[in-house]
Amino acid sequence: MIIKYLLIIFMVVSFPTFLLSQEEEEEEENPHVEMIDDEFVCLDCHTDIPKKGQTSPTYFLVDAPSENCLGCHDETQHAGAKEHEGQKAEHLPGDENGNIACFTCHDPHPGGVIEGRTVYDAQLSERSKKFIEFIVVPNLKEELGHEVKPEFSTTEVYLREPSNEICITCHEAPIKKDWRNHPPWYKFTDMYTY
Amino acid sequence: MNRTIAIIAFSILILGFIGCRTQSTSDGSEDMKAKASGDLKVNYSHDVHKNVMDKEEFDCFVCHPMNVEVEEELSLEEMIKISNKSFFPGKETCHFCHFNPQAGNIAPNQCDTCHINLADIQPKNHNFNWMSKHAVFSKADGESCESCHSPVFCQDCHKRRDLPTLRVHDRNFRFVHGIEVRANPRACGNCHQVTFCDTCHIKGGYDY
């Protein structure tokens, strides 16, 4: 009899805990990964599930393109992000003003979601890792006094081009204009809105 | 007469052409040799480094790191500071390949590639008679020496038998030193005091 009561008490106590843990797990879900299997995740960012061929200068986003990613991500998600903000996205998709936004370099859609679209992981050479670990991080701690650490994960960054090429697309184009015939940003609306 | 006028006109044309070329070259910052000591914007050329970066398969992040994570809640201003300092680390970026006494250099290590006036980067205590004073400083704070010199730099003099010809003077330096003294007297002062010169030139030489 006592065991029966103990069991009931245990279930009453543990059930909310179980529900809470489920909730936490749900919060940690990554919509960029979820959209591979669940097309309704598209509605997290888009006003409608864009059909193939549909285009819009705002990419059918729920917020202004420049603001859309900031619902979940920080403005300073990674070093260098702010340094690019406001620059003209001449060779890759840009925001409502044609300026660089998160999705200029990162495709929010992982591979397989949009037909014919390939996305890339970042590549980090051993020398880069050493430079960050032995020089950049200690200097940041010493000069600015904040706790920083190296972050070497390179997957799930969904780059539109392989690491170096995504930089070269804009940074080398002024030097080698014929390196690749990149159409102006607004012509990407055909390719990047569905 | 006509021939003279033609020659003068041709000369003016040629001189004008040379003048234009000179001006256009001096305007192109990529082609310029370093002008300002330690000024990265003037001294660094992406074009010059492109081939070696490709060859070594370095990514752009080797100079512009993005991979740092902040472990505390900070204001946007602070985050921007960290971002900027990480993305443009400054001279440490150059020094990591060109001047790295701890790990070794993988790129040419001539300091004057960027530092035109070497006196700017020379520590203040490396002045007159430094050669005889340096032992005290190196024993007191060896790490300070290693921030610029690799251990080989010490060994070159202290361990090798051919030291006089290696880092100091050639064997016949006594006969030609007058030329170098007049060219750069300060260089002598790095090791010798003025009394060292006086010993021969005024008093009549050393007692060997």
Q: Which residue of A has its CA nearest to B77?
A: A76
Q: How far apart are CA A69 and CA A76, in angstroms?
A: 12
pLDDT exceeds 70 at position A57: yes
Average pLDDT over residues B3-7: 71
Maximum C-alpha span of chain A = 84
- Which is nearest to A78 in space by CA: B66, B70, B73? B66
Side-chain half-sphere of A67: how many Cα atoms within 13 Å? Answer: 4
pLDDT at B164: 54
| Predicted confidence (pLDDT) per residue in B125-167, tens digit | 888 778 888 889 999 988 888 877 877 778 777 776 665 556 6
Kindly indicate the confidence band of residue A129, based on its pLDDT and cuts at 50, 70 and 90. Answer: very high
pLDDT at A141: 92
The pLDDT-based confidence of B81 (bands split at 50, 70, 90) is very high
Q: What is the predicted pLDDT for the residue at B184?
A: 85
Instruction: Give me the pLDDT at residue A140, please.
Output: 92
Confidence category of residue A194, pLDDT binned at 50, 70, 90: very low
**A48 Ramachandran zone, left/alpha/beta (phi>0; psi -120 to 50):** beta
Residues of B in contact with A82 (CB under 8 A): 79-80, 83-84
pLDDT score for B161: 63
Q: How confident is the model at residue A179 (pLDDT cuts 50, 70, 90)?
A: very low
Q: Is there a contact between A149 and B61 if contact means CB atoms under 8 Å apart?
A: no
Residue A130's pLDDT is: 92
The pLDDT value given to residue A189 = 40
**Proportion of chain B above pLDDT 90, given as a percent:** 12
Kindly list the domain boundaries of chain A, sorted by start residue: 1-30, 35-121+156-192
Q: pLDDT digits over A82-111, tens only?
A: 989 888 888 888 998 989 999 999 999 998
Full-model pTM: 0.64
The arithmetic mean of pLDDT across residues B11-39, rounded, is 48
How far apart (Å, rounded) are the C-alpha atoms in residues A7 and B157?
Answer: 82
B198/B132 Cα distance (integer angstroms): 18
A67 touches chain B (CB under 8 A): no
Please indicate if any CB of chain B lies within 8 Å of the CB of A142: no
Which residue type is seen at B108?
Answer: P
The rounded mean pLDDT for chain B is: 77
Which of the two residues, B32 and B87, has the higher pLDDT score? B87
Burial class (CB in 10 A: 0-12, 13-18, 19+), A130: middle
Across the interface, do B85 and A140 touch by the CB < 8 Å criterion? yes
Report the percent of chain B where pLDDT is more than 70.
76
Tokens coding A180: 């690749």
Q: Output the six-digit token pair for A31.
A: 């919509």
Provide the β-strand partners of residue A150: B68
Tell me how close the Cα of A147 comes to any Cα of chain B, in angstroms: 6
Which residue from A83, A130, A149 is facing B83, i.e. has the nearest CB?
A83
Higher pLDDT, A115 or B182: B182
